[in-house]
Amino acid sequence: MAFNPDVKRKIVRDKKTDVHHPCLMCGAKHIRPDAAHIIDEKEWKSKDKKGNDSKFNGIPLCPNCHRVFDEVLRPRLYKALQDFGATGLPSKWERNNKISV
């Protein structure tokens, strides 16, 4: 799912200059950067008192880095944090959240 348009704008655009932020991971400037959820939308909303999206749960990423974040980085972070003893981790981080062939 996607952020609502107002929240997405806050994540991907600089408020003062109205220019898109570069990708947070690789620094590339993209004509239409993604607003990637850090915590999956459904899981985030289940914890938010009002069930809302938040700009604090999103990062601007280019499409390539968005895929790497979702499919590779989050599961690796989950494993490392779990092995370190962290608890209460986002359940969706455990596995790749996309279906890859």
Site of interaction with Zn ion (CB under 5 A): 23, 25-26, 28, 62, 65
Q: Cα–Cα distance between 78 and 65 in angstroms, integer? A: 18
What is the residue type of 98? Answer: K
> In the bound complex, what is the minimum distance in angstroms from residue 6's beta carbon to Zn ion?
23
Instruction: Pick the closer one to Zn ion by CB: 26 or 86.
Output: 26
Cα–Cα–Cα angle for 99, 34, 76, rounded to 5 degrees: 50
- Nearer Cβ to Zn ion (7/62): 62
Nearer to Zn ion, 2 or 86 (CB): 2
Query: Shortest approach of Zn ion to residue 74 CB, angstroms?
Result: 15
Considering the complex, what minimum distance in angstroms separates the CB of residue 34 from Zn ion?
Answer: 9
Give dist(CA 37, CA 3) in Å, integer. 8
Residues 5, 8, 14: CA angle, nearest 5 degrees: 120
